[in-house]
Amino acid sequence: MGFQLKQLWTAPELNPYNKKAKSIPIFNPFDKYGRVFFFSYLGFFIAFWSWYAFPPLMVSIRKDLHLSQNEVANSNIISLTATLVMRAVAGPLCDRFGPRLTFVGCLLAGAIPSALAGTAHNAGSLYAIRFFVGILGGTFVPCQVWTTGFFDRNVVGTANALVGGWGNSGGGITYFVMPAIYDSLIHQRGLTSHVAWRVSFIVPFILITVVAISMLLFAEDTPTGKWSDRGKAVAPTAPTDNTIVAIPQNSTEKPSVAGSISSNDEKKKATTAAPQSDIETGPGDVRMMDEVQHEVIVKPSFKEGLKVACSLQSIALMCSYVCSFGGELAINSILGSYYLKNFPVLGQTTSGQWAAMFGLLNIITRPAGGFFADLIFKWTNRNLWAKKLWIHFVGVMSGIFLIVIGQLDPKNLSTMMGLIALMAIFLEAGNGANFALVPHVHPHANGILSGLVGASGNLGGVIFAIIFRYNGTHYARVFWIIGVIIIALNLIFIWVRPIPKGQIGGR
């Protein structure tokens, strides 16, 4: 079935095997699938806003705390490192307790240091605050695992990319919102700069807390309810007594014995169900049941986690995300300074606002990466190689544009902005493309893999940030160095199979 506009607000058609939605009710928060979509991106958006709340106010913070340029750079690296650790930890927590509770836990744990941001009085206390605020960056992992659990394979790439991209835009919005809050406190409330920047952090604290509590009250762990019931679904061919059978998630095809159902007519399915014997005799359905059985998320163990982490498929995804999200994080942290160096006439505020556009492009670019991954997947008759090659294509293209920018070091504003925008399209699309493939690889350990891949993005951010740090203001040189690294990593892993050989459900 092709896309229809009404799918944006009507209850979605469901895969009867795993109860996952085959469309995304973006504008329907009253439907449980629309509600999960809404809270996934809103929670990540608020978390990203607070996580990135320091850089827009760093001029005032630096002056107030008498920080050196190196101390500011160190605080950025510490923040990224904290998120790296939290993302790696959040993955197994998602598999153990479910993504919703992990999401809520990350938000509340990050809200407390956000409220305490104003207590910073020197470089050491700022490092400590930014480290614990970095917990908020870990919300990306439960955000992706949660949507993966609610949306079927035909749209999971688009769903993950949308919530990730719209959430990511919080890192751009904060460049406009935090200075506006700060200015209003000074001009309308008469506070001094020393007090105003500290009070500003109370706003994200309040919003984070409200969103976390709402998520706890108004959303569900899985399409079947509690996380402990994630392996249960009502069989599409069940008799009229609504027998519950253990059926995990992630099916790609409609069953031959029954049509798909809608999320608002689950209670009607029993009256139209076929005899239970049909499912036992249909080879297509037996294969489908085997496939979804294989893909249920299991309780994580160290041995299983090690196996997932060491597989070539995981390493390939991690390296791709080092390039895309890692490159984005590092570039985002210096772009305002690069603009100011090449175009002093812009001034600090305008340079920062132009730099914020790089993050705001995620509203379009990241979703585009996931959307085209799903589209290519459909066009190629559900070929996972197509999704994987799409990741490498956008990766290589982003590397090419980084090299061009680094070699030209544009002094013309239009040329610079145009090249940065083109580079951002491919670099940020790589984020969405990556997490369009993640749900297919080791689906029984989706949390572990999502955590590892998400953490690798922060690892890339730290590595590239260190390269920037030791090259001073030679930003152009670092751009082409990063471009070469990105192209090399993508070409090195292009041959790796999209999923491990022999894995069930690789279509």
Is 310 within the bounds of a domain?
A: yes
HSE toward the beta carbon, residue 429, CA cutoff 13 A? 24
> In terms of domains, do 198 and 347 share one?
no
Instruction: Look at residue 22 and tell me whether its pLDDT is greater than 90.
Output: yes
Domain boundary among 207, 231, 255: 231
Is 1 within the bounds of a domain?
A: no
> In terms of domains, do 464 and 333 share one?
yes
> In terms of domains, do 32 and 132 share one?
yes
Is 90 within the bounds of a domain?
A: yes
Distance in angstroms (rounded) separating the CA atoms of residues 444 and 247: 13
Instruction: Look at residue 128 and tell me whether its pLDDT is greater than 70.
Output: yes
Q: With the C-alpha atoms ordered 330, 466, 130, 434, is the resulting torsion angle positive or negative?
A: positive
> In terms of domains, do 50 and 192 share one?
yes
> In terms of domains, do 129 and 221 share one?
yes
**For residues 169-174, average pLDDT:** 86
Q: CA end-to-end span of the chain, whole Å? A: 18
Is 268 within the bounds of a domain?
A: no
Number of domains in the chain: 2
The whole-number pLDDT of residue 284 equals 53
Domain boundary among 189, 204, 231: 231
Instruction: Look at residue 161 and tell me whether its pLDDT is greater than 90.
Output: yes
- Residues of 168-198 as b/e, b for ≥16 C-beta within 10 angstroms? bbbbbbbbebbbebbeebbeeeebebeebbb
Cβ neighbors of 44 (< 8 A, separation 6 or more) are 139, 140, 143, 163, 164, 166, 167, 168, 170
Q: Which domain CATH number covers 331?
A: 1.20.1250.20
Q: Are 304 and 298 in contact (CB under 8 A)?
A: yes
**For residues 440-453, average pLDDT:** 92
The predicted-structure confidence for 243-283, as pLDDT tens digits, reads as follows 444 444 443 333 333 445 566 545 444 344 444 333 333 45
Distance in angstroms (rounded) separating the CA atoms of residues 107 and 42: 11
Mean pLDDT of the chain, nearest integer: 86
For the chain, what is the radius of gyration of the CA atoms? 23
Is 250 within the bounds of a domain?
A: no
Q: What percent of the chain has pLDDT over 70?
A: 86
Cβ neighbors of 19 (< 8 A, separation 6 or more) are 223, 224, 233, 234, 266
Q: With the C-alpha atoms ordered 137, 141, 147, 153, is the resulting torsion angle positive or negative?
A: positive
What pTM was estimated for this model as a whole?
Answer: 0.83
Instruction: Look at residue 357 and tell me whether its pLDDT is greater than 60.
Output: yes
Is 216 within the bounds of a domain?
A: yes
**For residues 234-242, average pLDDT:** 44
> In terms of domains, do 321 and 203 share one?
no
> In terms of domains, do 17 and 136 share one?
yes
**For residues 137-166, average pLDDT:** 94
Is 276 within the bounds of a domain?
A: no
For residue 144, what are the domain limits? Answer: 12-231
Domain boundary among 213, 231, 249: 231
Element (H, E) at 473: none
For residue 357, the Cα-to-chain-centroid distance in whole angstroms is 18
The predicted-structure confidence for 294-342, as pLDDT tens digits, reads as follows 566 777 778 888 999 999 999 999 999 999 999 999 998 889 889 989 9
Is 291 within the bounds of a domain?
A: no
Element (H, E) at 233: strand 232-234
Provide the 3-class DSSP secondary structure of residue 308: helix
Instruction: Look at residue 242 and tell me whether its pLDDT is greater than 60.
Output: no
Distance in angstroms (rounded) separating the CA atoms of residues 484 and 463: 14
